[in-house]
Amino acid sequence: MKQLYYLRKGSHPLHAIGIVLLVAVLTACSDMNDLHQEYLDRGEDIYAAKADSVAPHPGRNRVEFEVFVRSQRIKTARFFWNDYQDSSDLVIEGQGIFKKMLENLEERRYIFKLVCLDDFGNRSLPVELSANVYGERYQAQLVSRSVGSTSIDVQGKVTIHWGSAVDGAVAIEVKYTDLAGNSKLQTFPADQPTAVITDFKPDMGYEYRTVYKPDSTSVDSFFTDYAPGTLLSFDKTDWHIVDFSSQHGGADNSVDNFIDGTFKTRWHSLAGGSSYPHHATIDMGVVRTITQFGAWITTFDSPPDGDHRAPDKIKFLVSLDNVVWTDLGEFNFNRFLLGEQTFVVPASTQGRYFRFVGVSGPENNMVMGEVSAYGF
């Protein structure tokens, strides 16, 4: 029931204004109570505690959550996704770190909501989490790291020289046969330029694959298909020139440049005082089974397409003792071709020494870049 207030005759005007303001405040307070009455009648909402931290770990068509809980009142952690259409529970038993794996997920980015519950069914405020799930689309774009070359030294140590590093790769696995005939798998860091194997059975070859992780915290690794390794080249640090036909004066023309590991240097036979055939005999340090040879023209002090004063025809011979020699025949050599040219020799060719012979060419003297040998 509303009360009526009367002003006494002769009252001061300020008294009247004060009474009017008082009535307005009392009316506003009454209306405000009416708005909150529903919540006051219902009582205070009670929320369960939230997890202290949650870390998602992506994987192949799955994601793992690592939940850290300090509160002993949390009994269940419930994960929601697909706008609350899907959910899965994680039982919490006391304090600590608890893990939950969600399987059979499509490859895409997900938004998850985590709600914790206590024994009384009270829920925590939701925590939003995002995570990527990877699958066939990610797998399809992976490339295997290339191999530049593979060499073997006189002790049998095999060194794989990798090509350029690839983004996202974490390791390279090499599968080979060891000296006892057992299949072995070794893993090498992806950021290393080489991989060294000391128990390699060289006549069996090897294959390798590249290992990826889409994220540093990923629970799964992804693998490229296995690729065959390259032929074994013989490590030239063990080689020595034991005989040669001639060389021009100066270190830039030395026959030693013929086995220094680069075609950017040259062996220049004596200019104005030599003629074909030109030869160099190499001691490889141990007896090898040779499958092929390689030879290059040089780019030293020449146009970008190389020095064309190389021979047109070459020959290779092998020997076990540097006395008795086996002629492996003549081969055509393209003196205009930049890069390695390879020459396959008969199977089971063995020797500790081999001789390169320039048989004929455009001039009396000869210029060559590099020579290599392959096998086991």
Q: How much of the chain is helix, strand and coil, in % rounded to 5?
A: 15, 45, 40
**C-alpha to C-alpha distance for 105 and 88, rounded to whole angstroms:** 13
What is the pTM for the complete model shown?
Answer: 0.77
Enumerate residues 6+ apart whose C-beta is below 8 A from 103: 61, 62
* 236-375, CATH topology level: Jelly Rolls (2.60.120)
Ramachandran bin of 83, using left for φ above 0, alpha for ψ from -120 to 50, beta for the remaining angles: left
Tokens of 241: 């020139």
Residue type, 354: F
Residue type, 274: S
Tokens of 24: 């307005």
Same fold: 53-137 with 143-230: yes
CATH superfamily of 53-137: Immunoglobulins (2.60.40.10)
Find the angle CA(350)-CA(339)-CA(304) to the nearest 5 degrees: 150
Enumerate residues 6+ apart whose C-beta is below 8 A from 314: 295, 330, 331, 333, 343, 356, 357, 358, 359
* 143-230, CATH topology level: Immunoglobulin-like (2.60.40)
Q: Are 267 and 326 in contact (CB under 8 A)?
A: no
Q: 């003629």: which residue's tokens?
A: 275
The residue among 174, 159, 48 whose CA lies nearest residue 114 is: 48
Q: Which helix (H) or strand (E) holds 78?
A: strand 74-81
Write down the domain spans for the chain. Answer: 53-137, 143-230, 236-375
The strand pairing partners of 309, in sequence order, are: none
**C-alpha to C-alpha distance for 141 and 53, rounded to whole angstroms:** 33
Find the angle CA(371)-CA(148)-CA(225) to the nearest 5 degrees: 140
Enumerate residues 6+ apart whose C-beta is below 8 A from 184: 175, 176, 177, 178, 199
The residue among 69, 67, 47 whose CA lies nearest residue 57 is: 67
**C-alpha to C-alpha distance for 219 and 203, rounded to whole angstroms:** 37
**C-alpha to C-alpha distance for 297 and 303, rounded to whole angstroms:** 12
Tokens of 376: 């086991």
**CA-only gyration radius of the chain, Å:** 41
- Three-state DSSP class for 25? helix
Pairing of strands 53-58, 63-69: antiparallel
pLDDT at 46: 87
Return per-residue pLDDT of the chain as tens, 376 residues. Answer: 444 333 344 444 444 444 444 334 434 444 444 433 443 444 467 888 999 999 999 999 999 999 999 988 999 999 999 999 999 999 999 999 999 999 999 999 999 999 999 989 899 999 999 999 999 999 999 999 999 999 999 999 999 999 998 889 999 999 999 999 999 999 999 999 999 999 999 999 999 999 999 999 999 999 999 999 999 999 999 999 999 999 999 999 999 999 999 999 999 999 988 999 999 999 999 999 999 999 999 999 988 899 999 999 999 999 999 999 999 999 999 999 999 999 999 998 999 999 999 999 999 999 999 999 999 9
Q: 């001061």: which residue's tokens?
A: 12
